[in-house]
């Protein structure tokens, strides 16, 4: 059986990471037998989760997991898409995972740190928890600044996120899934992020921006229910 190593359930989600949720979506769509296992990212090949384990083979990163499903396990989740659709999917995936993701990070770790500290670090003794958490937040702040988003005001950061969400909403329209009535890999990417924004009990401007688009809320609910993204 395949093992999918992820962060343990939190925030009402099977995993609090949008990339772990994407991986769950990919695995569910593949129809392959697998199980999720909470893991320590420090022990992962690239010190990040998720990781797919197939016997002695470890595949980190959702892009490589998807490629492994297609090339090795013969589960092509994008079968039937033409070259234009694949190009569109890749552009939206990059926007989602390399831009919108950082707005989510900002909303969680910089603006709502006190709300999630105990969720992520509850197993650490209270006397050490705040110290460790503050050190991690400082590292995240440096990453946000290096990426560029952290150089802007909160209003500007959330405006970037709102624009990304509007683009997804505009393209989705009234379709069940991104390219019609059949989900593909881009749906796993987008709904992993949307679930991470909409399901946790954190009231952020990013969540408000997502909730302003009924088609995004319905889209997220539809995918999360079908592919078991809730805890």
Q: What CA–CA distances, in Å, run from 100 to 6, 55, 119?
A: 21, 34, 22
Residues 26 and 106 in one domain: no
| pLDDT digits 0-9 by tens, 90-123 | 999 999 999 999 999 999 999 998 888 877 777 6
Residues 97 and 208 in one domain: yes
pLDDT score for 42: 85
Residues 7 and 2: their CA atoms lie apart, in Å, by 16
Residues 89 and 55 in one domain: no
Question: Residues 182-192: what's their mean pLDDT?
Answer: 98
- Please report whether residue 194 resides in a domain: yes
Residues 17 and 96 in one domain: no
Contact of 60 with 48, CB cutoff 8 Å: yes
Residues 63 and 61: their CA atoms lie apart, in Å, by 6
* 59 CB-contact burial (10 Å; exposed 0-12 / middle 13-18 / buried 19+): buried
- Please report whether residue 196 resides in a domain: yes
Question: Residues 20-46: what's their mean pLDDT?
Answer: 96
- Please report whether residue 78 resides in a domain: no
Residues 144 and 190 in one domain: yes
Residues 116 and 213 in one domain: yes
Q: What is the DSSP letter of 120?
A: H
Residues 172 and 105 in one domain: yes
Pick the last residue of a domain from 71, 92, 111: 71
Band of residue 161 on the pLDDT scale cut at 50, 70, 90: very high
Long-range interactions of 167-176: CB distance < 8 A, separation 24+: 167/92, 167/95, 168/92, 168/96, 168/216, 169/213, 169/215, 169/216, 171/88, 171/92, 172/215, 172/216, 172/219, 173/215, 174/215, 176/219, 176/222
Residues 52 and 124: their CA atoms lie apart, in Å, by 27
Question: Residues 127-152: what's their mean pLDDT?
Answer: 93
* Residue 4: both structure tokens together: 């999918």
- Structural domain that includes position 18: 2-71
CATH code of the domain covering residue 52: 3.40.30.10
CATH code of the domain covering residue 169: 1.20.1050.10
Residues 169 and 119 in one domain: yes
Residues 26 and 112 in one domain: no
- Please report whether residue 77 resides in a domain: no
Residues 8 and 159: their CA atoms lie apart, in Å, by 31
Contact of 1 with 217, CB cutoff 8 Å: no
* Residue 20: both structure tokens together: 């772990």
Pick the last residue of a domain from 71, 94, 113: 71
Pick the last residue of a domain from 21, 39, 71: 71
| pLDDT digits 0-9 by tens, 48-58 | 999 999 999 99
This prediction's pTM: 0.96
Contact of 220 with 229, CB cutoff 8 Å: no
Residues 46 and 120 in one domain: no
Residues 63 and 92 in one domain: no
Place of tokens 């009234």: 174
């Amino acid at each position: 059986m395949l093992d999918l190593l992820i962060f343990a359930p939190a925030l009402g989600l099977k995993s609090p990471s949008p990339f772990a949720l994407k991986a769950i979506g990919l695995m569910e769509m593949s129809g392959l037998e697998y199980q999720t296992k909470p893991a320590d990212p420090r022990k992962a090949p690239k010190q990040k989760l998720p990781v797919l384990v197939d016997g002695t083979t470890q595949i980190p990163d959702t892009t490589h997991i998807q490629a492994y499903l297609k090339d090795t396990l013969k589960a092509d989740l994008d079968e039937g898409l033409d070259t234009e659709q694949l190009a569109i999917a890749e552009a939206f995936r990059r926007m989602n995972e390399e831009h919108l993701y950082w707005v989510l990070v900002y909303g969680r770790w910089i603006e709502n740190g006190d709300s999630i500290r105990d969720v992520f670090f509850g197993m650490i003794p209270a006397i050490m928890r705040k110290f460790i958490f503050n050190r991690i937040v400082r590292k995240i702040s440096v990453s946000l600044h290096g990426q560029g988003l952290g150089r802007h005001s909160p209003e500007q950061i959330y405006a970037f996120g709102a624009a990304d969400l509007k683009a997804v909403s505009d393209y989705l329209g009234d379709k069940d899934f991104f390219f019609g009535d059949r989900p593909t890999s881009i749906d796993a990417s987008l709904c992993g992020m949307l679930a991470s924004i909409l399901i946790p009990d954190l009231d952020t401007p990013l969540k408000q921006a997502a909730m302003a688009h009924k088609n995004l809320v319905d889209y997220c609910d539809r995918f999360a229910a079908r592919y078991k993204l809730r805890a």
